[in-house]
Amino acid sequence: MSTTNHVSANQNLMSHNVSEILEYDQIFSLKSLLLKTLGVVCATIAIKGFMIPNHFLDGGLLGISILIHEFYHIDIWIPLLLLNVPFVGIGYRKIGKNFAAHAFLALLFLGIALNVLDVPTVTKDHFLVAIFGGVFVGLGIGLVIRSGGVIDGLEVIAEFTNKQFGLSTSEIIVAINTSIFLVIAFFLGLEKAMYSILTFFTAVKVSDYVVDGFEKLISLTIISPNHDMIKDLVVNQFNKPITIYKGERGNLPSSFNIKHDCDVIVTVVTRLEVHKIKKAIAEADPKAFMFIQNIKEVKGGIVSRKSGH
């Protein structure tokens, strides 16, 4: 794309964001406010009940904020809000007014909760702190994301930075968190750094489950000589629509020239359904070849015969 087109695209994006109408009914809906409230309460429990009393850190801006608190003994809410607020502005430009409003409201709730809620130290056991501190951080981040906002602007930073350096969002997140954990190891010791890494990965997994839920969609691909039987099983027994690709089986190292036409069957299932469907296919055809791919998003078509999207 030419420079002129890039400028034109950016102008269009900014024009769209400026003209976007704030959806007050969604921003201040009972569900949105309840999710934000529960999220910031969980995050506050993690920060004040687990992490700060035990000098544990997480990744992202929360980790940087706790580092600043450790070094300068500033109330945690001050660096946490100050670090996040600029990226609400970036979110306003890159994503839209409604996202910025949700994020600002969530940060306001978090600042109030950190000042108002008196959370006692839950435990001094390092392993329990790493696990349950991560669980509560993950719950907090995930619930706030479900409400439409954020309480850690790291992903906004990554989205903004990847255009400058040509790195993917995940690479930038890993790079930033690696730097944080190296600082922890240098100043607070290797053991605290390792526990902080455990906290971070626990938080990531929990927030993924909260955001995606157990209904996270997975693509299941099946290649079988008995493809008609497998199609009947998936569609009629499990009520799952399928897509068929015309493919070719064979071409094995010991018999390269032997090959057969076949139907490659693809279906989209949930995390909870996939194991039951795989088991049924394996019992019906032990020679069936199956592989699974995670799906980030699904739009259009029919995901289930019972509920269309």
Asked if the structure places residue 301 within a domain, the reply is: no
pLDDT value of position 35: 95
Claim to verify: residue 61 and residue 87 sit in the same structural domain = yes
Asked if the structure places residue 299 within a domain, the reply is: no
Tokens linked to 136? 């509560």
Residue range(s) defining the domain that contains residue 262: 217-294
For 142-181, how does the pLDDT look when each residue is reduced to its tens digit (9 = 90+)? 999 889 888 887 766 655 555 556 555 556 677 778 888 8
CA distance 281 to 264: 14
The pLDDT mean for the chain works out to 83
Mean pLDDT, range 242-270, rounded to an integer: 86
- pTM of structure: 0.71
| pLDDT band with cut points at 50, 70 and 90 for residue 191 | confident
Write the CA distances from 66 to 3, 92, 115, integer angstroms: 41, 26, 15
Whether the CB-CB separation of 267 and 234 falls below 8 Å is answered with yes
CA distance 292 to 281: 14
Q: What single string gives the DSSP state of each residue in 123-183?
A: ---HHHHHHHHHHHHHHHHHHHHHHT--S-THHHHHHHHHHHH---HHHHHHHHHHHHHHH
Number of domains in the chain: 2
Claim to verify: residue 23 and residue 90 sit in the same structural domain = yes
CA distance 245 to 219: 14
Domain-terminating residue out of 212, 229, 255: 212
Residue 215 has, within 13 A of its CA and on its CB side, a CA count of 5
Q: Which helix (H) or strand (E) holds 39?
A: helix 30-44
pLDDT value of position 4: 37
Asked if the structure places residue 308 within a domain, the reply is: no
Claim to verify: residue 96 and residue 223 sit in the same structural domain = no
Claim to verify: residue 77 and residue 130 sit in the same structural domain = yes
Q: Which helix (H) or strand (E) holds 1?
A: none
Q: Where are the beta strands (DSSP E) in the chain?
A: 217-223, 242-252, 255-270, 289-294
Which segment of 15-29, 55-69, 92-106, 259-273 scores lowest on mean pLDDT? 15-29
Claim to verify: residue 245 and residue 168 sit in the same structural domain = no
| pLDDT band with cut points at 50, 70 and 90 for residue 280 | very high
